[in-house]
Amino acid sequence: MTTIQTTSASTIRHDHVARRRPGLLAALRWELRKLRAQYRARVVLLIAVLAPVFIVVVIQGQSRPPKDTLFGRFAIDNGFALSLLVLGFASQWVLPLLTAIVAGDVFASEDQHGTWKTVLTRSTSRSRLFWAKTVTACGFATLVLVLLAVSTVASSWVIVGHQPLIGLSGQSIPAGHALQLVAASWALMLPPILAFTCLAILLSVWSRNPAVGIAAPVVIGMVMQLVGALGGVEAIRPFLVTTSFETWHGLLAEPRFSGPLVEGLLVSAGWCVVSLAAAFILFRRRDITGG
Amino acid sequence: MNGFLAVDAQGVTKTYGSVRAVDDISVRVAAGEVYGVLGPNGAGKTTFLRMLLGLIRPDTGTIRMFGKTWEDSGVGVLDGVAGFIESPRFYPYLTGRANLEGLALLDGGTPTGLLEEVLDVVEMSDRADQKVGGYSYGMRQRLGVAASLLREPRLLILDEPANGLDPAGIRDMRALVKRLSGRGLTVLLSSHDMEEVEEICDNVTIMTRGTVAFHGTIAHLRTMAPDPGHVLATTDDVRALRLAEDQVGITVARDPGAALVVTGPPPEVSSYVGSLVRADIGLLAFTPTRTPLEALFFMLTDDATHQFLDRSAQPQDALR
Ligand SMILES: Nc1ncnc2c1ncn2[C@@H]1O[C@H](COP(=O)(O)OP(=O)(O)O)[C@@H](O)[C@H]1O
Ligand SMILES: [Mg+2]
């Protein structure tokens, strides 16, 4: 073993003035500031607001309704049906993509810019940074969903109208109640969206590559849709995140059924917990050798 | 009095796959000194400094900074410690100032006025409101120093801070390090340049292939240095070599570039040159090979790419 003795044996007094330990809030503020400065986050929010208006206008302008799709038959003359049609479409891959644009990038962009070594040599622990980034990504996902929902429902209401809705069992639902059910249906997107967000976080941490973090959740979502549509997969279908995208159907049937709804919540929560736990362990342990 | 070394690393080892990047290294840095970790590329300097800053975990060994370890203090071990590894990295889409403000958030806030002060110290005040993406290498390097000073460190860790800078940038960086150490800051820097370490450091660890080849003061290192060497070009190298056989105290070797390299204490070298002139051998060139400390550095680190120049300092290769 080799030892380096400095000639001067001088040491310094250890003054116990530890730095003020920054809380989660400080790290969160920093993440938000970076997010605000990023062009792509603003573009996603803008799309979430404008795209539904555009789609509503286009569909309303069609002479024949998209009959093959759920609620498609009534979409050109019922605003609630149109909202639900857009909801069904958004859950195919649009929502996973919009959330992954931030969640798949939030960790990997530090690799891309080589900035891990910059932020991890300050006074904020790895776990604080992890949670700050996770909260940021989940908050962004929620915001995107809310904007998309409000924009869709409002523009369908205004442009197409708010006549009573014909439910999945052919029952007529009065406008006031229909609005509640449509809002609840959109809200039910939140658990699977958060599951996709956490999955994107895991992929972002694991791959250290923003392109993978953003694209992979979308591809995984599509594969899940495909698998879910196959026959003979009843055993695994409930465990697919994408199955949770359909739990709102139960709200619009007569009588209502909520079994899949509870199942979907649990499955989404499971995906969140497993993804985040794996991401956390990977992140805490990793050696920062790049940058 | 409760006293601690700025850095007390004991038996630190780090392996990447089959590569022992750092192999059982111990380094102790006292408060207030400028300490150099010197070594050729791949010696393990960066790996060692990354372990100090907690970016990577050592396989074995303990690291204490001001008496604290990662195990018992977590990120608190970095209280009073700042620095950067290789070239500092920032968010290119933010201004220099916004980058520092964000890092200050992660530090738990900084005293008012400090941000302006550190920008001023590194002479970046007038460029702070431009996006980092447009900065030159040297500007990013200076912003890196500013970001470190923002933590009001007692120990500053710099990994080859002069790398990639132009001569003026190198001069400024060295002056800055001296100025900071003059204010009482402990500085631990790595370098592959003996001249740099000689100029600014009090103590040095010379690393090669992950292990320590030398540690001690620069003064001690000087006493170990070989005699200075000179490249000699004459009109008749064969006779010049033959004449060298009669000279006591010097060695003359032929290097692969076909020139002669003469090594020895200055009086003997001078007497040899005189004998060449008396023998009517024309002297075409007489230039120093490298400083004795550089020669020693290459001897200690046994860097194969410098083998031929080292012959001037290696008696076993010399003609008598
Ligand atoms: N991330 C890594 N993966 C594998 N090997 C590495 C890695 N980083 C460094 N090394 C190896 O470890 C050794 C020491 O590297 P480094 O610490 O960068 O040396 P220095 O900074 O002195 O040039 C080299 O052989 C290098 O190739
Ligand atoms: Mg290096």
Please count the other Cβ atoms lying within 10 Å of the Cβ belonging to residue A197.
31
Question: What does DSSP say about strands B203-208 and B283-288: parallel, antiparallel, or unpaired?
Answer: unpaired
Whether residues A2 and B28 touch (CB distance < 8 A) is answered with no
CA distance A272 to A278: 10
A68: left (phi over 0), alpha (psi -120 to 50) or beta: alpha
Query: Residue A200 in contact with residue A108, Cβ under 8 Å?
Result: no
Residues 149-168, chain B: which have Cβ within 8 Å of A? 151, 154
Alpha helix stretches (DSSP H) within chain A: 24-37, 39-60, 79-89, 95-103, 108-113, 116-119, 126-159, 175-187, 190-207, 210-229, 259-285
Counting every residue written for chain B, the total comes to 320
Is B26 near chain A, with CB under 8 Å? yes
Q: Tell me, what's the pLDDT at A61?
A: 85
Mean pLDDT of B231-253: 85
Contact in structure between B88 and B141 (CB atoms under 8 Å): yes
Which pLDDT score is estimated for B206? 92
Ligand 1 atom with the smallest distance to the CA of B160 is 21
For residue B68, how far is its CA from the centre of ligand 1 (angstroms)?
A: 26
Q: Do B55 and A8 touch (CB under 8 A)?
A: no
Nearest CA to ligand 1 atom 26: B42
Please name the amino acid found at residue B120: D
Give the pLDDT of residue A20. 67
The rounded Å distance from CA A124 to ligand 2 centre is 25
Residue A215 has pLDDT above 60, yes or no: yes
Angle subtended at Cα A53 by Cα A49 and Cα A59, rounded to the nearest 5 degrees: 145
> Residue A197: what pLDDT?
97
Strand partners, B28: B8
Report how far apart, in Å, the C-alpha atoms of B265 and of each of B220, B253, B254, B259 are. Answer: 19, 15, 18, 20
Q: Out of A116-120, A158-162, B243-247, B302-306, pick the least confident.
A: B302-306
At residue B137, what are phi and psi to the nearest 5 degrees? -55, -45
Q: Which of B33, B105, B187, B188 is best to mutate for the A interface (most A CBs within 10 A)? A: B105
Q: How many CB pairs under 8 A join A and B?
A: 169
Residue A239 Cα distances to A56, A98, A99, A279, B178, angstroms: 32, 22, 21, 20, 63
State in Å: Cα B302 to ligand 1 middle.
18
The protein residue with its alpha carbon nearest to ligand 1, atom 21, reads: B46
Rounded CA separation A6/B174 (Å): 22
Minimum mean pLDDT among A87-101, A109-123, B111-125, B281-295: which range? B281-295
Per-residue pLDDT, B302: 66
List the one residue out of A67, A95, A94 whose CA is nearest residue A81. Answer: A67
Residue B54 in tokens: 């907690």
Q: Which residue of A has its CA nearest to B155?
A: A12
* Neighboring chain B residues of A11 at a CB cutoff of 8 Å: 3-5, 30-31
CA–CA distance from A134 to each of A104, A266, B8 (Å)?
11, 20, 36
DSSP state of B251: E
Per-residue pLDDT at A67:
78
Shortest CA distance to A170 belongs to which of A255, A236, A51?
A255
Per-residue pLDDT reduced to its tens digit, B245-267? 888 888 888 777 767 888 888 88
Specify the amino acid at residue B58: P
Tell me which residues have their CB closer than 6 angstroms to ligand 1: A 289; B 16, 19, 21, 39, 41-47
Residue nearest atom 13 of ligand 1, based on CA coordinates: B21
With 0-12 / 13-18 / 19 or more C-beta atoms within 10 angstroms meaning exposed / middle / buried, residue B215 is buried
Helix axis angle for A259-285 and A190-207, nearest 10°, is: 20
By the CB < 8 Å criterion, does B179 face chain A? no
Task: Nearest chain A residue to B46 by CA: give it.
Answer: A289
B94 CA from centroid of ligand 2 (Å):
27
- Interval between CA A92 and ligand 2 midpoint (Å): 48
- Give the nearest ligand 1 atom to B49 CA: 17
CA distance B136 to chain A (A): 16
Measured between CA atoms, the residue of chain A closest to residue B66 is A14
Q: Quick one: pLDDT band at residue B163, thresholds 50, 70, 90?
A: confident
Q: In the structure encoding, which two tokens stand for residue B191, read together?
A: 């370098």
Element (H, E) at A13: strand A12-13
Q: How far apart are CA A214 and CA A209, in angstroms?
A: 9
pLDDT at B226: 75
- Mutation choice for A interface testing from B91, B157, B214, B218 by most A CBs within 10 A: B91
Question: So what's the pLDDT on residue A80?
Answer: 93
pLDDT of residue B7: 94
The model's confidence at residue A138, banded by pLDDT at 50, 70 and 90, is very high
Q: What is the mean pLDDT of residues A176-182?
A: 93
Question: In this predicted structure, what is the pLDDT of residue A230?
Answer: 87
pTM here is 0.85
Ligand 1, atom 12: closest residue by C-alpha: B21
User: Cβ separation of A2 and B30 shorter than 8 Å?
Assistant: no
Pair type for strands B186-191 and B203-208 = unpaired
Residue percentage of chain A with pLDDT more than 90: 66
Residue A287 has pLDDT above 80, yes or no: yes
pLDDT at B295: 75
Of all protein residues, the one whose alpha carbon is nearest to atom 14 of ligand 1 is B44
- According to DSSP, residue B319 is labeled B
* Tokens matching residue A62: 């069609």
Averaged pLDDT score across all residues of chain A? 89
Return the residue whose CA atom lies nearest to atom 1 of ligand 1.
A289
Ligand nearest to the CA of B44: 1
pLDDT the model gives residue A19: 55
The per-residue pLDDT for A73 is 81
Compute the distance between CA of residue B188 and CA of residue B65 in angstroms, rounded to an integer.
12
ipTM attached to this prediction: 0.86
Query: And the tokens for A24?
Result: 């989660």
- In the block, which residue shows the tokens 């003026």? B168
Question: Phi and psi of A137, rounded to 5°?
Answer: -65, -45
pLDDT in tens, B138-159: 899 999 999 999 999 999 999 9
What is the β-pairing status of strands B155-159 and A165-166?
Answer: unpaired
Specify the residue with its C-alpha closest to ligand 1, atom 25: B42
Residue B35 has pLDDT above 80, yes or no: yes
Long-range contacts of A20-24 (CB under 8 A, 24+ apart): A20/B108, A20/B109, A21/A123, A21/B76, A21/B108, A22/A123, A22/A124, A22/A128, A22/B105, A22/B106, A22/B107, A22/B108, A22/B109, A23/A128, A24/A128, A24/A131, A24/A132, A24/A135
* Nearest CA among B16, B25, B36 for reference residue B189: B36
Interface of B with A in 101-140 (CB under 8 A): 102-103, 105-109
Closest ligand (CA of B16): 1
Q: Long-range contact list for A276-280, CB < 8 A, 24+ apart?
A: A276/A134, A276/A198, A276/A201, A276/A202, A278/A202, A278/A206, A279/A107, A279/A130, A279/A198, A279/A201, A279/A202, A279/A204, A279/A205, A279/A206, A280/A127, A280/A130
- Partners of A129 on chain B (C-beta within 8 Å) are 106
**Span A148-156, average pLDDT:** 96
Distance CA A117, CA A287 (A): 10
Pairing between β-strand B19-29 and β-strand A172-173 as defined by DSSP bridges: unpaired
So what's the pLDDT on residue B241? 87
* Residue B8: per-residue pLDDT: 95
Summarised one tens digit per residue, pLDDT across range A29-68 is 999 999 999 989 999 999 999 999 999 999 888 888 777 7
> So what's the pLDDT on residue B260?
84
Q: CA B104, CA B111: separation in Å to the nearest integer?
A: 10
Cβ contact, residue pair A122, B106, below 8 Å: yes
Cis peptide, bond prior to residue A255, ω within 30 of zero: yes
| E-state strands within chain B | 3-4, 7-16, 19-29, 34-38, 60-65, 81-84, 155-159, 186-191, 203-208, 211-217, 229-234, 251-254, 260-263, 283-288
Residue B17 at interface with chain A, using a CB cutoff of 8 Å: no
* Nearest ligand for residue B18 CA: 1
Best residue for ligand 1 mutational test, from B13, B45, B47 (most atoms within 8 Å of Cβ): B47
Percentage with pLDDT > 90 across chain B: 54
Please state which of the ranges A5-19, B20-34, B62-76, B193-207 shows the lowest mean pLDDT.
A5-19
pLDDT tier for residue A17 given thresholds of 50, 70 and 90 = very low
Q: Is pLDDT of A106 > 50?
A: yes
- Ligand 1 mean position to B210 CA, how many Å? 9
pLDDT over threshold 70, residue A14: no
Give the pLDDT confidence score for residue A256 in this predicted structure.
Answer: 85
What do you get for the CA distance between the two ends of chain B, in Å?
59
| Nearest ligand 1 atom, CA A290 | 1
Residue in A238, A245, A195 with CA at minimum distance from that of residue A88: A245
Asked if the model's pLDDT at residue A3 lies above 70, the reply is no
| Chain A touched by B217 (CB under 8 Å) | yes
Looking at per-residue pLDDT, the higher value among B312 and A248 belongs to A248
Distance between CA atoms of residues B319 and B260, nearest Å = 11
